[in-house]
Amino acid sequence: MSEVHVYPVNQAIADTAHITEDKYREMYQQSVINPEGFWREHGQILDWIKPFSKVKNTSFDTGHVNVNWFEDGTLNVSVNCLDRHLATRGDQPAIIWEGDDPTDDATLTYNELHEEVCKFSNALKSQGVRKGDVVCLYMPMVAEAAIAMLACTRIGAVHTIVFGGFSPEALAGRIVDSNAKVVVTADEGVRAGRAVPLKKNVDAALANENVTSVEKVLVLKRTGGTVEWDSARDVWWHEATAVASANCEPEEMNAEDPLFILYTSGSTGKPKGVLHTTGGYLVYATMTFKYVFDYQEGDIYWCTADVGWITGHSYLVYGPLANGATTLLFEGVPNYPSTSRMSEVVDKHNVSILYTAPTAIRALMAKGNEAIKGTSRSSLRIMGSVGEPINPEAWEWYHRTIGDSRCPIVDTWWQTETGGILITPLPGATALKPGSATRPFFGVQPAIVDNMGNILEGATEGNLVMVDSWPGQMRTLWGDHERFEQTYFSTFQGMYFTGDGARRDEDGYYWITGRVDDVLNISGHRMGTAEIESALVAFDKIAEAAIVGVPHDIKGQAIYAYITLNDGEIPSAELHKEVKDWVRKEIGPIATPDFLHWTDALPKTRSGKIMRRILRKIATGDTSTLGDTSTLADPSVVDKLIEEKQKIM
């Protein structure tokens, strides 16, 4: 391995930081020696209606996995994100919205956001939404997305956000699984100058015969584009809120009441509905936001994630607003209309904390100094990275070019399931090593285990697990607790398995090496290979398919599809396009295979199991170490695949 460059803690940052090196060590010790005491104290970061007396009641034991935090406390999330700030910061911007078009922007103060949330809460109620009902949000990146989330929390409804890039089919599947009663959407979204037909997609999803739960669709007018209208079902957002009162009493929620469901891909089967609950999730999102980004009064914070992903939940909306911060919500993409857009937005709004993804960083890096042309970025203080391993070159470029070698980078490792950041530097406490997510956050107890589940000590490499619970941990899979136990707690008994591999160095720093299961990470978006494969085999000309990931300079990973056609079907340019379009329609553009490898046979064991290890190696061109192929039913398949691979572009 090449020499690791260590960046010592930036003294100017440490001078005013919430957490310094000594403080980190002391608090971390407390948090793992006495979790009860630690979280009893830090649970006070929220305003509770009825204070909790119980702190932690959790078990990772097979057959009895349960996770409960602060279980006898009650609170309301929107009160913590809004009402409690009104006396001190009612006129401070809560959300700065920056449109796709650089001349479009708007600001909502805490007072204004509170009013809009109350009105939309009443609008939801008037459409029949009650405590415990599920509301599906399929929204563009506009302030109303955050308003709709907060309104759900105010009245105790459970939101499930579906990323606006998912297809009607994918949307329908999530609506069916969650049993959503209402869908909130917009006529169209706007991204990189192009309209996204959200309402049309909702119409198509609801036309699916399996979707029977939806009673109403609330539609925000974003572009004014033409939409079909079902007057018995569809209601305009502006009409529903025009007649709604700006007063809405918040529901008193138990800490363990469901807050939201968010679907994510796993290594098998259909997407899983990850459930987060009210108290523990919000304590954890609030506290990690404050310390990981060293949030200080007056900071302008920008997270580029879409609300459709967990980062958009915890660190675009809930974490920042619970801290009374100003959060910037950006409708567009970092390189539209020009490569310097991200830097321009930083200058325009004086952004001091920037949180983005390696894939965006690499896309900008590919254009060199174009990304900072004509900008100063002097307002930046802290920068973050999330979603996939950041390669040291991209880290160095981000640090040097975007951050002018001034700003610490927090490389934050976490997952939809973890609710908040688990492994991360703290800006005033942690010396940085490019490419390493460094050390665990308070209360987080990672371990590295071998394939038998033995905990490995010292500098080592293996599977990343958590040996104890933290408040932001998911509670279950919606409607399928057994699958929850099976997926996360059965590989290694008594431990939460992350699905990631990691290395720990001699300083105790963690280096995430990527997924060790059949999950891909495409531009920081999680995709299950099984999901893409089942979409492919649903295509009438395809007999069999196997998906593997291959390295990609910008996206991190690209999707490589091995496809066997039905007898009599012949590969062609038209079929190539048809297959790609099919996957876009079934799942969405992010799942579109980059490479199609037509073949007559896949390498299988005698019991019929596809040997992905071999397929991965062939796809990456790494055929010198194929390992033992003698267990294959027909070893000659391998040579044929290698030969065919030469022709794949």
Residue 389 interacting with ligand PRX (CB under 6 A): yes
Strands across the sheet containing 216-220: 234-236, 216-220, 182-186, 134-138, 158-161, 258-264, 272-277, 476-477
Q: What tokens does 608 get?
A: 């019929």
**What's the closest the beta carbon of residue 177 comes to ligand PRX, in angstroms?**
17
Query: Can you tell me which residue has the tokens 């192009």?
Result: 194
Q: What tokens does 25 get?
A: 């060590």
DSSP 165-180: TS-HHHHHHHHHHHT-
Answer yes or no: are the C-beta atoms of 138 and 105 closer than 8 Å.
Answer: no
Residue 549 interacting with ligand PRX (CB under 6 A): no
- Pinpoint the alpha helices (H) of 183-250: 198-207, 237-242
191 is known to lie in a ligand binding site: yes
In the beta sheet, which residues pair with residue 409?
383
Residue 391 interacting with ligand PRX (CB under 6 A): no
Answer yes or no: are the C-beta atoms of 253 and 277 closer than 8 Å.
Answer: no
**What's the closest the beta carbon of residue 605 comes to ligand PRX, in angstroms?**
27
**What's the closest the beta carbon of residue 478 comes to ligand PRX, in angstroms?**
16
Q: Over the Cα atoms of the chain, what is R_g?
A: 24
Which 8-state DSSP code applies to residue 604? B
Amino acid identity of residue 553, one-letter, is: D
Give the residue among 311, 382, 304, 305 at the shortest CA–CA distance from 345. Answer: 304
416 is known to lie in a ligand binding site: yes
Stretch that binds ligand PRX, among 35-43, 442-450, 510-518, 577-585 (CB under 6 A): 510-518
Stretch that binds ligand PRX, among 180-188, 252-260, 387-395, 615-623 (CB under 6 A): 387-395
| Count of residues touching ligand PRX (by CB under 6 A) | 22
**What's the closest the beta carbon of residue 316 comes to ligand PRX, in angstroms?**
12
39 is known to lie in a ligand binding site: no
Question: Is 76 or 445 the residue whose CB approaches ligand PRX more closely?
Answer: 445
Which 8-state DSSP code applies to residue 281? H
193 is known to lie in a ligand binding site: yes
Answer yes or no: are the C-beta atoms of 221 and 100 closer than 8 Å.
Answer: no
Q: What tokens does 230 get?
A: 């079902």
Give burial (CB, 10 Å; 0-12/13-18/19+) of 559.
buried
**What's the closest the beta carbon of residue 440 comes to ligand PRX, in angstroms?**
13
Answer yes or no: are the C-beta atoms of 327 and 316 closer than 8 Å.
Answer: yes
Q: Does 635 sit behind a cis peptide bond, omega within 30 degrees of 0 on the bond before it?
A: no
Other beta carbons less than 10 A from residue 415's beta carbon:
17
Select the residue interacting with ligand PRX from 294, 388, 396, 485 (CB under 6 A): 388
542 is known to lie in a ligand binding site: yes
376 is known to lie in a ligand binding site: no
The vertex-93 CA angle with 89 and 98, nearest 5°, equals 170
30 is known to lie in a ligand binding site: no
Give burial (CB, 10 Å; 0-12/13-18/19+) of 514.
middle
The vertex-153 CA angle with 150 and 157, nearest 5°, equals 125
Burial annotation 439-450 (CB, 10 A radius, 16+ → b, else e): bbbbbbbbbbbe
Stretch that binds ligand PRX, among 194-202, 495-503, 539-547, 641-649 (CB under 6 A): 495-503
Question: Is 316 or 437 the residue whose CB approaches ligand PRX more closely?
Answer: 437
Residue 413 interacting with ligand PRX (CB under 6 A): yes
Select the residue interacting with ligand PRX from 344, 500, 531, 533 (CB under 6 A): 500
Question: Is 160 or 412 the residue whose CB approaches ligand PRX more closely?
Answer: 412
557 is known to lie in a ligand binding site: no
Give burial (CB, 10 Å; 0-12/13-18/19+) of 63.
exposed
537 is known to lie in a ligand binding site: yes
CA–CA dist 262, 198 (Å, integer): 19
Q: Which residue is nearest to ligand PRX (CB)?
A: 416
Stretch that binds ligand PRX, among 63-71, 375-383, 410-418, 572-580 (CB under 6 A): 410-418
415 is known to lie in a ligand binding site: yes
**What's the closest the beta carbon of residue 501 comes to ligand PRX, in angstroms?**
9
412 is known to lie in a ligand binding site: yes
Stretch that binds ligand PRX, among 16-24, 395-403, 494-502, 612-620 (CB under 6 A): 494-502
Question: Going residue by residue from 584 to 623, which x/- string records binding to ligand PRX, judged by CB under 6 A?
Answer: ----------------------------------------
Select the residue interacting with ligand PRX from 27, 512, 527, 614 (CB under 6 A): 512
**What's the closest the beta carbon of residue 70 comes to ligand PRX, in angstroms?**
23
Stretch that binds ligand PRX, among 146-154, 413-421, 426-434, 633-641 (CB under 6 A): 413-421
Strands across the sheet containing 105-109: 105-109, 93-98, 326-330, 300-303, 353-356, 382-386, 409-412
C-alpha distances in Å from residue 254, one per residue of 49, 127, 250, 317, 463:
10, 24, 13, 21, 35
**What's the closest the beta carbon of residue 634 comes to ligand PRX, in angstroms?**
34
What is the H or E stretch that residue 504 is in? strand 496-504
Select the residue interacting with ligand PRX from 57, 223, 379, 415 (CB under 6 A): 415
Amino acid identity of residue 438, one-letter, is: T
CA–CA dist 316, 237 (Å, integer): 22
**What's the closest the beta carbon of residue 524 comes to ligand PRX, in angstroms?**
6
Which 8-state DSSP code applies to residue 402? I
Question: Is 19 or 512 the residue whose CB approaches ligand PRX more closely?
Answer: 512
Select the residue interacting with ligand PRX from 411, 518, 531, 586 (CB under 6 A): 411
Other beta carbons less than 10 A from residue 530's beta carbon:
17
Residue 518 interacting with ligand PRX (CB under 6 A): no
Question: Going residue by residue from 302 to 321, which x/- string records binding to ligand PRX, judged by CB under 6 A?
Answer: --------xx----------
**Nearest 5°: phi and psi at 212?**
-125, -5
Question: Is 74 or 498 the residue whose CB approaches ligand PRX more closely?
Answer: 498
Amino acid identity of residue 28, one-letter, is: Y
167 is known to lie in a ligand binding site: no
Stretch that binds ligand PRX, among 240-248, 249-257, 407-415, 590-598 (CB under 6 A): 407-415
**What's the closest the beta carbon of residue 519 comes to ligand PRX, in angstroms?**
7
From the annotation, which residues make up the binding site for CoA? Answer: 191-194, 311, 335, 523, 584
From the annotation, which residues make up the binding site for Mg(2+)? Answer: 537, 539, 542
Residues that bind ligand PRX (CB under 6 A): 264, 310-311, 386-389, 411-416, 437, 498-500, 512, 514-515, 521, 526
From the annotation, which residues make up the binding site for ATP? Answer: 387-389, 411-416, 500, 515, 526
